[in-house]
Every structure is written in C-alpha cells, then in structure tokens.
Structure 1
C-alpha cells in the first residue's frame, strides 16, 4: 500500500465523530472570510479516519464550557485528512503531520500555531483556547511578512520576526538569521545569548550565520554543555532539516553532505546511530532530487546493514529502548485536577504506536515498488517487506508485500497475501474496500 504515516503520542486521544455542538463552516474559504469579517481567529480541526474499535475520547470537546468558547470566540472549520478536496491544501500549507490537530489562524489570515488536538480533557483544550486568544491579540504574522517583503531588515525587526515565527512553531528561519547576522558587530558574538539565538534559528550548516556562531568556540561549546537536552535537540534538528531542505530545493550536493556530516557528528558516542543519521540524510537528498540511481544504490546497502543484518529480537529490543528514551525525554507539566482537587504532573511524549522499524522497512519497500525497475531491486524490497511483517503483521504491510510480489510476477503468492491483508483489515476494523479493489486487479492482471 502507499507509504504509511503514523502520527503518534501515547496520549493520543482519537478521532472526533460527533461533536455537534460546535458550529463549523461549510468550507475553509468561507471560514477565512467570516473570520475576517467578524474579527475573530479561525480554529481548524484536522482529523483522520480511525478504526471503529479505537478508544475515542472526546469528553473534553463535548464539555459545554469548551464548546461555548469555540462558538463565541472563534470561527470554526473541520475536515478529515482523507477528504483531500477539503483538507489537502491546508495540510500542505501548514505542514501538518500529526492528527488530529488544530490549526489557528488570526482574523487577518496570519498563521498563529498548530497543536495536537487532545480532546479527552477539558483542561487541555482550555490551555489551547487561552493560547490561541493570546496569540490573536498580538501582531499578525501577515504584518511581519509584509514588512519583510517591503525590505525591512533592521536587527530589532528581524529578531522580533524570528521569535514570532518560533512561537508559532516555525523552525525554518535560516534566511532570516542570515539577514540578521549582517547587522551584528563581531563584539556582539561574544555574548552567550546572541550565539544561542543564532543557533536556535536553524542556520544553514554552511552559512555565514553558522560560521559566525562558531567564532567564539568557548561559547558554542558551553551552549551544548549547559542548555537542556530538548533545546539542543531542537537546535540540531532545525539546522539539519533547514540545510537538507535547502540542498534539495537547490540541488546542492555539497550542502546535503555538510548537513549529513553535521547530523552524524551529533552522535558522538554511538557509531551505529551516527552512520544511520548520515545515510538517512543522504537518502533523503537523493530521493528529494529524484536521483533514482543513487537513491537505490545507497538504500540497498543502508537498509540491509541496519535492518536486515540483525535478528528480529534485537530489532524489537531496539524499538523498546527507543520508547523508554522517548518517555524519559518527555515534557512534564503540572495541572490542577478539579476532581481530586490536587496538583498533578503529566508527561507528554511522542512515539509511534506501531513498531518503528517495521514502519521504516514497509515505507522503503513501497518506495522501491514505485521506483525500482530491476528484479534484483524488487527482490530486495520483498525481503524488507517480509521483515516488516515479521516485526508487526498488519493489513498495510501485507498489502505492500502483495504489490511487490505482483511486480515480480509471482501472481498466486501476491493474491494470497492480498487476501491476508483483507483478512487482517477486517480484524483491525479498517476499510477493506481499497484492499479488495487491488485484489480484483491482481486477479485480472490489470494492477
């Protein structure tokens, strides 16, 4: 099947199906217009189809005080990820990869922020509502964008603009920080907070901004020794992601390699993870620039080395260790429980509910199904797909396996495994129709 994307938090609260008390607009365009006319922020709820046996908790969203606030303070719109006509453009524009999610937009049409839609508890939703109302009283992102496009480049404006974007969860500020450092005197780079600001802005790894952040190595090293782990990880991810995306957009191999080298350097004591990090970034680059030959060549070596040369038990143990690490690095917040009238702590962290290695193997197998042309390459994809099933037998993984078998002209085996996908889909209580349609095409040799 198509590349599977899992959006996960162990506190994931499920898909809303019947919160009828909130008044939703018919279309996103109507909602934007109404928000502008009434001077209210727009709350967009993006959902995804869930299995019928999922534990759906929407008690918080159904709380009268919450629904009243959404109706009184916001214009509202909702759409399902599967409804591409209504949701696809929103998901693409605001880069939504977690579902269900909220997107908040101010009355001018300026992006405010996105957040996971944790709908089980009213206090979670109240926090989001408060944040959105606070953001709606601030200067609109539209105004910042207009000033920048008009040529405003003062250091004070650029810092304010970057901080605004960071507050909205936008980490791609590499071009802005490049403009910002042009306003700085060398003496200012001796300030810890100034260097920290540059690094948090995610400069391109080969940019002038990053090079200037390295001028005072003592400060640079101190930042990576003293800042909290989450801050350091966020800085590194911003630098890596901004650099690799720019490399893809400009087909800049040197920048891609510099980004991969930096990603590798963040794993100072783990050679295996360092190697995985380097290769993952280069594979991302080759796939992004549609260099099929390089992608396939590197992928065949990479996935065999890191996913096929170790036992199933070792892979499962590795997945368990990653889960424990995600828990340990979770965000701890305090909240008042009105039921018990006590102050409690809550740990929030994100981690795929499904086996992460199985997901990786399934997705690369599907990429090979779409890209590969040689039998040797498809056979490799078949082995990866089979390993994914061994790690976690799901309908989607069997569907991928069946497709690859079909490409290899192993028609009876393909049909048998597609039937298994249908069987599992029924057990999972997911939509079996797409699997059944593919089976018919396999039988008629028209897939």
Structure 2
C-alpha cells in the first residue's frame, strides 16, 4: 500500500495557475513507474534559479489550456529546480549541467527530445512534444548503447548512434572521432560525409575538424555550403559554434572562445560589421559564464559604448528596412536566400543593452559600473519605445523587463524613490502586455518599499 499511496501523492500539482499538471517530489524511479503504468512519456522541466525570468517565461507558456490537454494525455510531467537534490539527480542522469532545459523521455530513460532555453509561446512546447511523440517508436538510444558496448563500430551504426545522441542533446565529440577514424581517408572528400560531420558539431579544436581542414579541398567545403539549403548551412555553422563554445566554457579556454568568435565573424561575410558584432557578443557570453567580472565589464563597455550608444532608433530602422528590401539587402542576406525568415536586426541591439546592464547589476556594486549600466538600460528602453511606437505591439507601455532592469539599477545605486516609481511602471506595463510575470515584478516592488530587495 505504501507504493500505491506514494503514486497517488505524485498527482498533487503545483498552484492552480499552472495548467500543466506537474507531479511533486518525485524521484526518477517513481515517475518512471507511473509513466509505465499509464503508458505515457515523461516531460521534465529543469529550471535554473540563476534565471528567474526564464522561470517566469516558461510558467507563462505552461498556463496554456492547450498544453494542459496535450501534456495531460501524453506525458507524466515533472518540474524541478536544478539546485534541489531531485534536480541535481535528474541533471546527472541526463547529463545536464545548467537549465532551463525541457526534456522529453520514455519511461526507460531514453531521451526523445531536448529543448534548451525558455519560451513564453505555448506552441514552442507543443512542437517539441510532437517531435518526442514521433520518436517514441522504433530503435531507441538504449538499444544503440547496448550495441556500442558489444563492440559494433560500422559507419552506418555510428551515424545512427550519433544522430540519436544529438537528438537527446548529448555530446557526440568522442563518437565523431571514432566515426571519422574508422573511415577511409578519401571519405573526407565526400560531400555527404563532411556535411554529416559538420551538422553534428565538431568543435574547432577537435581532431575531426582539423582533419577535414587538412584533407578536404576548400573548394569542396565552399561548394557544400553554397549548394546546401540555407537552413542546413546555418545548422552546420550553429552546430560547430555551439560545440566549440561548450568546450571553451568547460575548459575555461579563452583562446578557443576567440577562435569561435573569428569563425562566427567569417560566417557573416561580406557583412563584416555585423560579423564583428556577433563575434563580440559571443566573447561576452564566454566571459559572463567564466564570471570574469573585471574583463566582462571592460569588454562590455567597449562593445556597447563604441557601437550601440552611437546608434539611433532611426539608424536601426534603416538597418531593418535594408534587410526587408531585397533590392537593397547586402550580399549574403535576403536577396541571396529568399526562403529564409527575416529577423529584424534592431531587436538585438536593445536586447544587448538590457542584457549587459542586467549582468552588471548582478556582478558589480561599483558606482561607476552601475551608472554606466543605467545609461545602457535607459537606451534600451529608448530604442524599444521608438521602434514600436504607433504599432500593434502588445508592450505599448514599454518592455516591462527593461523597465525592471532600470528600476533595480536605481535601487542598487541608492535612489530608492525613483526605483519604486520605475518598478511601478514595470508592473503596469506587464499587466497591459499580458502574462503572469507582473506577480514577480510586484514582489520586487514590495521588497523595494520594505528596503529588503538586496538583502
């Protein structure tokens, strides 16, 4: 009876505003047992307290009634913070070191899909769930693990195993080296083989990548990119960048991070200005992950003060207009790839300003640093408000997250009354925009009024 009672207790859910029914205080064994009994898959949402906004964003998505129906019918759902004992154990089991991560698995622990990041749009999670449901049948990761341990090393098997691990968000670095090492040398002159390797992310310092650079004709690599569908070419670059940055962070290797930045810059050719911007963004992410406060603030200051703070909203609008107009688009953008989605470049500049202002708030208590971040934060709002003025954008009172950043910087600078005034605006802006995040902003507002925000 004890087991039966514990399984019943698993059905207790988090507060009613969360529409997906997340089970509580559950070990993997208990969840697996319940999933097998109900013939369902398992959805695990791993939160990271280092990103409270990510938690708010995903919670907003999970309030969808559509998600409740889809996930209730097909999944046993669990939501834990990675800093808890349960979260750490799940992270170890599925080789996850940092959230937020949305994981879809079967009852035997085979990962069917993995989504890294946070999204407020419910359809993102619907799409990820659909992918997992389509992969629930057929040969699973555990089957490949058994064959691999038994000594199977044929190229076909290794390719399938690499695909399975990639789908699960697991490292394929070792497998790529074994796969490449087992191939005849002339295989690295094959479009198909090199494309397969690139799509699965060899890091820039890996033996695999170096072997391709040494053996494969550059003309063939160039031709491979030119003939590949645009999305596939982007996927190859992103896989290499992601693997390289993960390794750079893991090894605290600034040289590799710099190599990755140079690789990023070259992917923007001939638009080297945008390439340099993207490369600098990458290096700042690396420094932030390294918690190198001094170097981060130094390079963020150079990046933003020399670029973003010299731009105007009108110049950002012109940048977007050139991208939207095929006749005026730079080579290598929309004119060259008519099927690609067009993403306004202006949004990245106000996002940069807010992101780095918030990071300075987190990392420093120096007045000069905070005053500089306050200017970045104010400029992010100016860009946002001007760009979306007189449009149908739901944030007509401003971007609440940007206002919140500005308010908290004011508070840390000791300007309490101004901070309360701006945080009140953040609450109102979020209420108008919709969603549930205003509750968090209200909590921050109350702590400001009580004088307990930074305690």
Q: Same fold (TM over 0.5)?
A: yes
CA distance in 1, matches of 2:352, 2:312: 16
CA distance in 2, matches of 1:94, 1:388: 31
Equivalent residue, structure 2, for 1:365: 357
The alpha-carbon deviation at position 93 of structure 1 amounts to 3.8
Equivalent residue, structure 2, for 1:437: 446
The alpha-carbon deviation at position 45 of structure 1 amounts to 7.8
Moved more, 28-37 or 249-258: 28-37
SS in 1 for 2:139: coil
Change (3 A) 1:310 1:51: same
CA distance in 2, matches of 1:269, 1:186: 33
Equivalent residue, structure 1, for 2:237: 236
SS in 2 for 1:77: strand
Change (3 A) 1:77 1:389: same
CA distance in 2, matches of 1:391, 1:418: 19
1:37-58 per-residue CA deviation (whole Å, 9 max, x = no partner) reads 566433568997679999x875
SS in 1 for 2:307: helix
SS in 2 for 1:209: helix
Contact 2:104–2:129, Cα closer than 8 Å, also in 1: no
Unaligned residue ranges in structure 1 (runs of 5+): 1-15, 333-346
CA distance in 2, matches of 1:286, 1:369: 15
Asked if 1:403 is matched to 2:379, the reply is no
TM-score by length of 1: 0.72
Equivalent residue, structure 2, for 1:194: 193
Contact 2:60–2:120, Cα closer than 8 Å, also in 1: no
SS in 1 for 2:135: helix
Moved more, 235-244 or 410-419: 410-419
Change (3 A) 1:134 1:404: closer
Contact 1:213–1:220, Cα closer than 8 Å, also in 2: no
Contact 2:420–2:445, Cα closer than 8 Å, also in 1: no
Contact 1:171–1:201, Cα closer than 8 Å, also in 2: no
TM-score by length of 2: 0.71
Equivalent residue, structure 2, for 1:31: 31
The alpha-carbon deviation at position 415 of structure 1 amounts to 3.4
The alpha-carbon deviation at position 270 of structure 1 amounts to 0.8
Change (3 A) 1:17 1:406: closer
Which of 418, 422, 426 aligns to 1:421? It is 426
CA distance in 2, matches of 1:52, 1:241: 26
Q: Which structure dedicates a bigger proportion of its chain to helix?
A: 2
Count of residue correspondences: 398
1:219-275 per-residue CA deviation (whole Å, 9 max, x = no partner) reads 212111100110111110110111011011111222112111111111111121111
CA distance in 1, matches of 2:127, 2:367: 56
Change (3 A) 1:433 1:239: same
